[in-house]
Structure 1
Amino acid sequence: MSGEAVKVVVRCRPMNQREKDLKSDNIVKIDSQKNTAQLICPDEPDQPPKSFTFDGAYGMDSNTETVYSDVGFPLVESVCEGYNGTVFAYGQTGCGKSFTMQGNAAQKGMIPRAFEHIFEAVSTDTSKKYLIRASYLEIYNENVRDLLGKDNKTNLDLHEHPEKGVYVNSLSWHECKQVADCDKLMDKGNKNRSVGATLMNADSSRSHSIFTINVEMCEQDNEGEEHYRAGKLNLVDLAGSERQSKTGATGDRLKEATKINLSLSALGNVISALVDGKSKHVPYRDSKLTRLLQDSLGGNTKTLMIAALSPAADNYEETLSTLRYANRAKNIKNKPKINEDPKDAMLRELQEEIKILKLQLAGQAPIQAISIAKQKPIYLSLHLIKLRLPKNGLKKEQRPKTTIYFR
């Protein structure tokens, strides 16, 4: 299967106070050099540990700066070039997902680092004009809510467009001119997020959240023509999978946990369908989460998954489940491409075809070439392409209307 694989890394947090009080053994061994995570079964300590290999593995002494530098930086850099990117953290409740994604006063998370990265890239690139906008939503009990809207309790509908795909109707977008603007939006949204205490986590996220940054850019060429590109970055903080027996959830907490587990199960089913390839049907519609992540799993996006682990023997089953989940996700193939003005894509395709055919005429390329856009054999003569592409490019009246869709 062609395409770009979803990148998957694992990160194991230190023992928390609850696990120390239980005198729980450490059953996770991380080898950052080999990018492996080994899991020892507490009931069979003499048996060989289960071993998994990923694109990166980070132990208890790791810091988010290193994680971002290794795997976050290249993805966000691509967004600044016009690609779509998604970063999401997965794992049981209390495993450090929000710490990795959002961080704290002592250690900035992936999200604030991405803010800084984007605005640093924009400030140093004087060749383009930029427009940066952000939105922040949560999925709570299978309802989508705008965390930055005037009424953050209103449930929003998902719509689907043939070009821009699945989107949230009436979601508010906010222009950002500096890092502080993004930070303010994040702080405002976090105050509106649904959180609650469980036995496993005093500040457990009771919803999935997606902070999205759209980076639109315009560059003018030597002839005064404007060329547009658009990147989109989804920063996803998933609620944790959990067992009622461990969290002590009752009432509203139990209802929330049920919805959380159902949506995470739907996410697992989507991953399985994409990896197995046995069925043409991928069940994206089984939850709001999977619909919103549809393009991030098998679509036009560069995707990074961070699997958060507990080292404690008390969480063996949950940790094994997370590792298996992550191990399957790394086999998903996406098809990322630059989001740009259709006229620029068409011009570049024709120019590539001219280049290939010139090489053919010079005997430096095989007769059968591959069209960049269609990925099908082409047998176009150089004369025909020149007829399609005027010497000075397409005139304004010949060019398609500029439309950039974020997907």
Structure 2
Amino acid sequence: MSDIGGPGGDNVKVIVRCRPLSDMEIQQGHQMAVEVDEVNMRVTANNPAGEVGEPPKSYTFDATFGPNSKQVDLYNRSARPIVENVLEGYNGTIFAYGQTGTGKTYTMAGDRSVPEKRGIIPNSFAHIFDQISKSGDDKTFLVRVSYLEIYNEEIRDLLAKDQSHHLEIKERPDVGVYVKDLSSVTVGGADEMDKIMTLGNKNRSVGATNMNAESSRSHAIFTVTVECSQLGIDRQQHLRQGKLHLVDLA
């Protein structure tokens, strides 16, 4: 699911990806209960325990991706427009929703060591700095990141040295709702951004579940702030700012 405030009038888009059966599910004799129609953006669910002749149920979304879908196709269809609008000064949010074991981590992070298996997060990092490198000399960019965790209704700064300190949510007329004392780190490249996220991930609260031995037990929000200063036709510097929120739900 992605939330974006961009020039195209987009608000919230719901995109569904259905993963393939796991090795354990195949060994136990399970069969796929859903069919994905990527052209018509439809998912059809069959009830394996239903009565004979029970009709399947179909649901239509803004986009659908089947078990054999590629990471790059998912990124280009769902995340690329959001990142491009962030670079234009709009705010966007991307998050994966689903129970443990449905493939949220693979979709969002993927396998960073294999280019074709990289998920939305590393692809968005590369996309941001690739676009910045192609910008003209009349534009100057500043990219900052922050990383917070919400666990048991308490907020922690995952990039802070003191992980025992809890932060507070505040509100001001000029900036709106914000997290007081949340640290912000300036970054100069996608690799540096990835290292900072990896550092923050080590401070996250995890706990075993029936589906995953190292499942995140907290919500985390990684925010990328992109500021652009551009010389206008009036010979004055114009500043715009966009924020990309990458959310990992428990």
Question: Quick check: TM above 0.5?
Answer: yes
Partner SS, residue 122 of structure 2? helix
Q: State the match for 2:94 in structure 1.
A: 87
Q: After superposition, what is the alpha-carbon deviation per residue over 1:157-201, rounded to whole angstroms, capped at 9, x for unaligned?
A: 111222322211111100011111101101101111112222111
Matched residues in 2 for 1:4 and 1:164: separation? 23
Deviation of 1:134 (Å): 0.2
Aligned residues: 237
Structure 1 counterpart of 2:79, one-letter code: G
Structure 2, unmatched stretches of 5+, are: 1-8
Which protein is richer in helix relative to its size?
Answer: 1
Q: After superposition, what is the alpha-carbon deviation per residue over 1:213-247, rounded to whole angstroms, capped at 9, x for unaligned?
A: 000111112442111100000001111xxxxxxxx
Q: State the match for 2:4 in structure 1.
A: none
Q: State the match for 1:115 in structure 2.
A: 125
Select the residue among 28, 33, 48 that pairs with 1:27.
33
Partner SS, residue 192 of structure 1? coil
Q: State the match for 1:17 in structure 2.
A: 23
The yes-or-no answer on 1:211 pairing with 2:218 is no
The yes-or-no answer on 1:72 pairing with 2:83 is no
Deviation of 1:128 (Å): 0.8
Q: State the match for 1:136 in structure 2.
A: 147
Q: State the match for 2:110 in structure 1.
A: 103
Matched residues in 1 for 2:167 and 2:150: separation? 10
Structure 2 counterpart of 1:109, one-letter code: G
Matched residues in 1 for 2:142 and 2:18: separation? 37
Matched residues in 1 for 2:29 and 2:247: separation? 33
Q: State the match for 2:5 in structure 1.
A: none
Matched residues in 2 for 1:222 and 1:4: separation? 29
Give me the TM-score of the superposition, normalised by structure 2. 0.91
Q: State the match for 2:60 in structure 1.
A: 53
Deviation of 1:20 (Å): 2.5
Deviation of 1:15 (Å): 1.1
Matched residues in 2 for 1:76 and 1:85: separation? 7
Matched residues in 1 for 2:228 and 2:98: separation? 35
Q: Compare 37-46 and 178-187 and name the one that shifted more.
A: 37-46
Q: After superposition, what is the alpha-carbon deviation per residue over 1:63-100, rounded to whole angstroms, capped at 9, x for unaligned?
A: 22111011211110000000001001000111111111
Partner SS, residue 4 of structure 1? coil
Deviation of 1:125 (Å): 0.6
Partner SS, residue 187 of structure 1? helix
Q: RMSD of the alignment, in Å?
A: 1.4
Matched residues in 1 for 2:73 and 2:133: separation? 23
Deviation of 1:144 (Å): 1.0
Question: Between Structure 1 and Structure 2, whose CA radius of gyration is higher?
Answer: 1
Which protein is richer in strand relative to its size?
Answer: 2
Q: State the match for 1:357 in structure 2.
A: none
Matched residues in 2 for 1:201 and 1:62: separation? 23
Q: Compare 113-122 and 19-28 and name the one that shifted more.
A: 19-28
Structure 1 counterpart of 2:57, one-letter code: K
Q: State the match for 1:254 in structure 2.
A: none
Matched residues in 1 for 2:134 and 2:230: separation? 14
Q: After superposition, what is the alpha-carbon deviation per residue over 1:273-305, rounded to whole angstroms, capped at 9, x for unaligned?
A: xxxxxxxxxxxxxxxxxxxxxxxxxxxxxxxxx
Of structures 1 and 2, the one scoring higher in RCO (CA 8 A, sep 6+) is 1
Matched residues in 2 for 1:17 and 1:171: separation? 42
Q: State the match for 1:308 in structure 2.
A: none
Q: State the match for 1:369 in structure 2.
A: none
Partner SS, residue 171 of structure 2? strand
Q: After superposition, what is the alpha-carbon deviation per residue over 1:322-380, rounded to whole angstroms, capped at 9, x for unaligned?
A: xxxxxxxxxxxxxxxxxxxxxxxxxxxxxxxxxxxxxxxxxxxxxxxxxxxxxxxxxxx
Deviation of 1:4 (Å): 3.2
* % identical equivalent positions: 49
Q: State the match for 2:3 in structure 1.
A: none
Q: State the match for 1:237 in structure 2.
A: 248
Select the residue among 130, 135, 157 that pairs with 2:168.
157
The 1:157–1:102 alpha-carbon spacing in structure 2 relative to 1, beyond 3 Å, is same
The yes-or-no answer on 1:186 pairing with 2:194 is no
